[in-house]
Structure 1
Amino acid sequence: PNATALIFGDTELSYAQLNRRANRLAHRLIALGIQPESRVGIAVERSIDMIVGLLAILKAGGAYVPLDPDYPRDRLQYMMTDSGIELLLTQQAIEARIPHPAHGNVLLLDTLDLDDTSDDNPAVTLHDEHLAYIIYTSGSTGQPKGVAVAHGPLAMHIQAIGERYGMTPDDRELQFASINFDGAHERWLVPLAFGAALMPRDQEIWPADRTAAEIAKHRITIACFTPGYLQQLAEFTGSAGRQLPIRSYTVGGEAMSRSSYELVQASLQPPRIINGYGPTETVITPLIFKATPTTRFDSGYLPIGSPVGDRTAYILDADMNPLPMGVTGELYLGGRGLARGYLNRPGLTAERFIADPFDNQGGRLYRTGDLARWREDGQIEYLGRVDHQ
């Protein structure tokens, strides 16, 4: 309980302190009617409040809906109405920018007085099927789509990915991505689930020199960036970056080109680069590939790897037949790590989440729309998007 859980700026919170703060807020949420399946919006600047708020919503049994304060007001309004938010958590400084829910309370996390509230762990009964979060993804056309993810797939994923990473209480993770992207939710939950320390970056977009300095100062062992940003870091530090205490860089959000990978390996020589692949609909990173300084590959992109946890991956032709090794087809993902579907969009859900023809237990598959093929080593290689025109 006295180990460091959260580092933000010059403030550190132990696990006991973080737990008490999150419990107090959770009890307030429960008193305001939040229960399993309730949707709670969270529109905050990057801060300790951000992590306390997310944790408290889950502890109260509710589902969180991240709302970026920088989004246009009409987009926020759409997301709040579409998701059916019953309560909004925000901060005094940005409250004016955020639309309020039509029916529901607004709590300002930076001025809220919870001193008289219990700090015991709330007694909430949750099932695998209960909702954990809703993340909105930008459609190429029209309004953003809400992807609804339940506790069962999320818990399975967090446990499995922490084990694949070999996370320990000695790790310290820099949390870089915006909470509007689903990858960010793996990268704050895993450290806290495995007793490691979590350090979210502040509101500024850090240039590479600041990131390198913070990694060194706070003895960060794990950090996750887009491939483009990791390349910037490698270009900035050069071989001096080998002195950083990182044992694992994760890349995600876009494909990592071979040239970018080779540049990073030449400069930073990290013990490990993990490539995390996955659409929001498949609960964060259903596939990961671990590269070490000796890893070589001849394709245009770093491979995307193999399934994490209780998941299946298929590469199929247009008639849904599995393809042999080395033959390109569309990647389908199944098993326990799938979202419920799209909120309020049964037609689209039925189109993208289909019955799994290889599973007699009534499982589903998600059509990723990505081209891929099996490599000889049993890993999957990403080859771009399917052209359905």
Structure 2
Amino acid sequence: MNTKGVKWELIVRKYQNLDGLREKHDKISLEPGAPVMAVGGGVGLMESLWAAVEKLVPDGRMTVWFDSPAHELIVSGDTVHGVKVRSRDTFVDVYGKVILASGGFSSNPAMRRQYLGEGWDLVVVRGTKYNMGTMLNRAIAAGARPVGHWGACHASPQDANAPLTGDINISPHMPRYAYQYGITVNIKGERFFDEGEDNFGKTYAKTGKKIGDQPEAKAFQIFDQQTLHLLPKRYDGQTPIKADTIQELAVKTGVSPVGLQKTINVFNAACQDDSSKFEPTKLDGLSTKPSDTLTFPKSNWALKIQQGPFVAYAVTCGITFTYGGIATDTTARVLNNEGRHMPGLWAVGEIAGGVFYHNYPGGAGLTKGAVFGRIAGREAAGAARASLKTS
């Protein structure tokens, strides 16, 4: 499928091990809401969009500036006239209608610590290192109203060896989203959430925080031979920790042997003896039985951890984007503290707050950015044409 130069494909290849599913003759169920993805993921999407931009440059319909970060808004009262661009030895004033698509503050350790709390200055940043919140702060200083959940963010499980800031060649291979097929423990050997609460697309963006809250901000995803074939190809990027026994696995991972053995004993005792209901690509209702000793249930895909060799992957918390931002209306116009729109200013993407709270459904950020990006572009272009007619 191809739309305006962006090519699309079914999302299963990204999150499922198709070879493993075929080998076991498992069925594939697509989660409603996000059945397709851009070919090549985020990297492929950006390549397609840049190719579309470059087609507009030769005939003068678009000018692209590189190495030119926006630094400040040019304003008179509530009205925005343009942006001040920072170069190596001077500032350049650029006049026109302004659409802010500069993201939140996920790359800024000081702002993460200020708004998200203790320890967030140390987490892995999945995306660009330039997402510093500069224009977010400038817009608020100019009168834009802050909205949304400033104390929360999209934070997902990432490989413990992921780069500290996004690396386009490495970071796309670091997500570890197959936790529903095993159990996740901290260094004490304790489970700390329901790994089978729902499909990963509805839980992964809040699971990173749970890992970040653990000692050393580290955890281990543990699988046995029943589910290894389900791990996506992304897991091939790192060497797993393998062991024939749980005790040996604990020693190799540095997890408390006593704690891990107790956790697995309690978990296995709570699992159903009949695992025939197990269906890996949809909610199967195969849950743990009520137990006074089981701290967290597993609501789906609850298989006993019993078939060695056992495998563990070390994971940590990786931040993708922040939820707090500035207020906008249905046409992406930025609203001031009194609720009136600020003439000449629109905002789209992460910088526009008030959409996500506590959690995030997979694919919603790209959808939000694409829909309101188109709206903002149309509205700003219309306003620019109207200004030319009256000048």
Q: TM-score range by the shorter chain?
A: under 0.3
Q: 1 or 2 for the larger relative contact order (CA 8 Å, sep ≥6)?
A: 2
Kindly name which structure, 1 or 2, has the bigger radius of gyration based on alpha carbons.
Answer: 2
Could you say which structure has the higher strand fraction? 1
